[in-house]
Structure 1
Amino acid sequence: MKLPVIARIAAFATPLLVAGLVVAQTSGGIQSLRGASVDQELQPPEIYQQQEGREVRNYRQQPPVIPHSMTQYQIDLRTNQCLSCHDWSNAGDRGAPTLSMTHYLDRSGNQLDTVAGTRWFCNQCHVPQADAPALVGNDFEASSEMR
């Protein structure tokens, strides 16, 4: 009983496969995502420098952007080098802004002495700011401008 079903599926799928191959062959050459042939040498894109200073937030509860480079920062399961400056116990000595108290709350709302595991990976919400062109168009307006 299974053999006739498989034969019908094969009889139906084979013409579709052949038609798909014909369309693929006649649709033209393959386009490269980089916009050039494989053997063509391209100039590397410009490297954008880190902006210095604090950036104004665009809406309430927006995570602040990071005003310094993070290229040498280690953030993994055991180490978070952001905390060497921004933890409440070190921020005063380092002149860095302290973490919000929400970073010290667990999922049940209990106050902790260390950063909660849900807030450990800083770059999930906070990103370094750079003076780079937008990758896509954007007509975002800050909430204070919408009136």
Structure 2
Amino acid sequence: MLGSLLAVLLVATGAIAQMAGERVPELSGPPTEMGEVVAEPIPKWVVDDARKERAYPDQPPVIPHSIEGYQLSVNTNRCLSCHKRELTQESGAPMISVTHYMTREGQMLADVSPRRYFCTACHVPQADVRPLVGNTFRDMSEMGVGHAGSE
């Protein structure tokens, strides 16, 4: 009895594997020979230090300068050496938003909130490159929505 059950199980497993091989397409395709791929040139960073217009409300501002070589770790944040509230007078950099000094509950802190410490989680430098995907974003003003009080 056990032998016949094992035989049926073995035949059924083989049949399922054979059917799956016919229904599931190959993922890798035919083997190809390794060749050299031409590397694209490294893009040029936009470093004009000009503030960019934001596309939508509450969009984090982009970084208008190079951050190459900036250390951003648990112990060090070079961004704060210019953008922290106390240092903006001498650096001339815009101060980070007051929201970066708040907890999730809206309580003000004396220093930058740990959840806002890693700047590049939201803020990114800009490179002069072709977009990876098409963009169909349209501003509300382009869709017929006027500004408040413009009636």
TM-score under structure 2 normalisation?
Answer: 0.77
Is the counterpart of residue 48 in structure 1 residue 47 in structure 2?
no
Following the alignment from structure 2 to structure 1, what is the Cα–Cα distance between the partners of residues 75 and 121? 16
Q: Secondary structure at the match of 2:86?
A: coil
Q: Supply the distance in 2 between the matched residues of 1:20 and 1:108 (Cα, whole angstroms).
A: 53
Q: Distance in 1 between matches of 2:118 and 2:80?
A: 11
Select which of 67, 70, 90 maps to 1:70. Answer: 67
Q: Aligned partner of 2:34: which letter?
A: D
User: For residue 105 of structure 1, what is the aligned residue in structure 2?
Assistant: 102
> What is the CA distance between 1:106 and its match in structure 2?
1.1
TM-score scaled by structure 1? Answer: 0.79
Q: Check whether the contact 1:58–1:143 (CA below 8 A) recurs between aligned residues.
A: no
Q: Does 1:131 align with 2:128?
A: yes
The answer to whether the 8 A contact 1:50-1:128 is kept is yes
More displaced 10-residue stretch of structure 1: 63-72 or 46-55: 46-55
Matches within 5 A, 1:3-42: 11-21=11-21, 30=29, 37-42=32-37
Picking from 138, 143, 146, the partner of 2:143 is 146
Q: Is 1:90 aligned to residue 96 of structure 2? A: no
| Distance change >3 Å, CA 58–CA 15, structure 1 → 2 | same
Q: CA RMSD in A?
A: 3.0
Distance in structure 1 (CA, Å) of the matches to 2:89 and 2:63: 18
Larger radius of gyration: 2
Q: Secondary structure, in 3 states, of the residue corresponding to 1:89?
A: helix
Change in Cα spacing, 1:80 to 1:27, as seen in structure 2 (3 Å) is closer
- When residues 131 and 6 of structure 1 are mapped into structure 2, their CA distance, relative to the original with a 3 A threshold, is farther
Aligned length: 140
